[in-house]
Amino acid sequence: MSRSYDAWIPLPKAELHVHIEGTLEPEQALAFAARNGVELPYADTEELRKAGQFSDLQSFLDLYYELMAGLRTERDFEELADAYLARAAAQGVRHAEIFFDPQAHLARGVDMGTVMEGLWRALGRSESVHGVSTQLIMCFLRDESADSAMRTLDAARPYLDRITGVGLDSAEVGHPPGRFREVYAAAAARGLRRVAHAGEEGPPRTSPRRSTCSAPSGSTTD
């Protein structure tokens, strides 16, 4: 029996793979950049949509990091998350496990507090406003160093009660996950669950072994 796409919308769903920075819509990206005085090399949303026709993971990541430049304030992160949750709710999502990439923001001079407070304003009211429960997963960039990941874990210390687990994302090829073993152990010692990305770009062997990466119930890797 075939069903139209619309027939599936009311069914309750769990979103288990979403990068909050990747939910930035062209309109929002340009608006954030404009109000923060950040220049993006796109004249309008049409040009930006064309740039969003990716050929591989790296071309996606290039645009992903470029558009992050417009995310500067708590308000930006709050509006980003709120817009995603509203769209997700409209598609029947009732639970979302949301990745975020603090290293990419810290490197741009946006501190952990700005990211966390902004996201939390939206996530903290999500169940009452959108009917969507949430969990937050802090990803480390696997194309950055393990030291950088550890510093990021340390920077998140004041916010650990808002973070369910840690993850691993970004470019996979040439960046095996084994060097993050100590960071994952430190995350476990701080009561965080551990997941990791695998298979978006590299072969299955780029995924951590089960011994170094345990997934929380209801969560998933790629």
Active site residues: 200
Q: Which residue has the tokens 């796409």?
A: 5
Q: Write the single-letter amino acid at 140.
A: F
Q: Write the single-letter amino acid at 201.
A: E
Nearest to 19 by CA among 108, 154, 112, 139: 139
User: 3-state SS of 92-106?
Assistant: CEEEEEEEECHHHHH
